[in-house]
Structure 1
């Protein structure tokens, strides 16, 4: 296990308050869940890391993340994601699983009291999503207790279930029992290149195969609503063997506001981006023929802002029998553990 040392929790106040309307849960109104503004990327490989960090921006209601997680209300407990907003990554066969989890989470939050936020979710991917058809989300109001609410969400496409998810929400509660692991000591995001810059350098390198250059070019051609800065580019690119451990700084591009539910939905979205791939680190020559998430679980521990830099710590304790298991921890910059993630997926291929 990583970072075994325990330390007392600390209370930290965020310094930059923002104002944005809360998640709209009224029936018949489209969910304006997340907003985003494109952040200017480095225009050349010679740009120094950290020099393009943007200043505070005004909310953009038509941002990429809004389109990514936007749902429209069809009836009571029934919501729809338009096919035009579904994203299939360049090298994937199906709709991005993190998007389906994030949208299912949005649908569940449409049905719970405003003073409750998600503390955990457990999802099973049952079938790959098709980007050419809308996804219908049906929410079952399983139970509303004094402090907890439970929801069951099914994502349906062309009559087939593609996701089944349990969501548990609760009111804010103080506790005298409090501890956590220690945040890993890694280079700060201001000293690192983002994935776009790393891929640009790889495409220009003579040490990368033409096959991989084509794949990297496809990744560069896609618009991604979050910015990623790996601590070790060679691990991210899988150019050398390394332990099944990754550290990536991540943040959403644009302002999201103060509603914690919004930030949790975005965290659910990007938590599926690099987690399973951590299992590939020890074998850089392994050629993947099929790779897909089987299940995904998230536990939210403390409040956070995903439009501020957060560290995604990932490890894969085990891989074999055509599957891999990965764990993740999402840290605030001040050392507070914001969320934990677990995932198992199918990985098939050859050396």
Structure 2
């Protein structure tokens, strides 16, 4: 048996939750109203998973970065050990979290009008608990022609690869204000 090595990252206990990071940004006095509304909308949604970004700038639309991100994730609440099918269902939900959006990390000035999954596949390699911290490593090796490809690896905390996933999606951008179609 072989597998990639899990990336070395800080443990989730040393990182801020996505909600805490949003509250920090909302506390900035010079924040545009449109941005405030967007962040408040995110906070109003009750997401059933807890997310702790390894690099918070990877979740910012203001910074151009390589289309890769990592975050610790787990289900909110206790699921238990008895029902692996439920853990698999939660992992499927997790696998789609900010997955296709990773394709746009290299293009912060572009605005997405619509995204839709064309296909999404998962492979489960080892047992895991979705209510315990797992590292989700996501990257986009290619995007073009109104499509994007992303792949992800879901790591157990002990470094065992729990699942791999891949998705291709349709991406439609908002037309530029100058009317240009380039």
From 284, 287, 291, the counterpart of 2:111: 287
From 192, 204, 208, the counterpart of 2:27: 204
Q: Which residue of 2 aligns with 1:220?
A: 43
Deviations 1:186-219 (A, max 9, x none): 1111111111111112222245432222111111
Once the two structures are superposed, the pairs formed by residues 234-245 of structure 1 within 5 Å of their partners are 234-245=57-68
Q: What SS does the corresponding residue of 1:198 show, helix, strand or coil?
A: helix
Q: How far apart, in 1, do the equivalents of 2:30 and 2:165 lie?
A: 34
RMSD of aligned residue pairs (Cα, Å): 1.3
TM-score (norm 1): 0.48
Q: Which residue of 2 aligns with 1:253?
A: 76
Q: Which residue of 2 aligns with 1:164?
A: none
Q: Which residue of 1 aligns with 2:88?
A: 264
Q: How far apart, in 1, do the equivalents of 2:26 and 2:140 lie?
A: 28
> How has the CA–CA distance of structure 1 residues 207 and 314 changed in structure 2, closer, same or farther, with 3 Å as cutoff?
farther
Q: How far apart, in 2, do the equivalents of 1:252 and 1:230 lie?
A: 15
| CA shift for structure 1 position 327 | 0.2
- Larger RCO: 1 or 2 (CA < 8 Å, sep 6+): 2
Q: Which residue of 2 aligns with 1:233?
A: 56
Which ranges of structure 1 fall in alignment gaps of 5 or more residues? 1-177
| CA shift for structure 1 position 302 | 0.1
Once the two structures are superposed, the pairs formed by residues 152-231 of structure 1 within 5 Å of their partners are 178-206=1-29, 208-231=31-54
Q: Which residue of 2 aligns with 1:315?
A: 139
Q: How far apart, in 1, do the equivalents of 2:39 and 2:139 lie?
A: 23
Please tell me whether residue 348 in structure 1 is matched to residue 172 in structure 2. Answer: yes
Once the two structures are superposed, the pairs formed by residues 26-175 of structure 1 within 5 Å of their partners are none
Please tell me whether residue 331 in structure 1 is matched to residue 148 in structure 2. Answer: no
Q: How far apart, in 1, do the equivalents of 2:138 and 2:30 lie?
A: 27
Q: What SS does the corresponding residue of 1:286 show, helix, strand or coil?
A: coil
Q: How far apart, in 1, do the equivalents of 2:109 and 2:9 lie?
A: 27
Q: What SS does the corresponding residue of 2:21 show, helix, strand or coil?
A: helix
Q: How far apart, in 1, do the equivalents of 2:30 and 2:91 lie?
A: 35
Which ranges of structure 2 fall in alignment gaps of 5 or more residues? 177-182
| CA shift for structure 1 position 221 | 0.7
Q: Which residue of 2 aligns with 1:275?
A: 99
Structure number with the higher helix fraction is 2
TM-score (norm 2): 0.91
> How has the CA–CA distance of structure 1 residues 268 and 255 changed in structure 2, closer, same or farther, with 3 Å as cutoff?
same
Q: How far apart, in 2, do the equivalents of 1:344 and 1:311 lie?
A: 21
Larger Rg over CA atoms: 1
Q: Which residue of 2 aligns with 1:165?
A: none
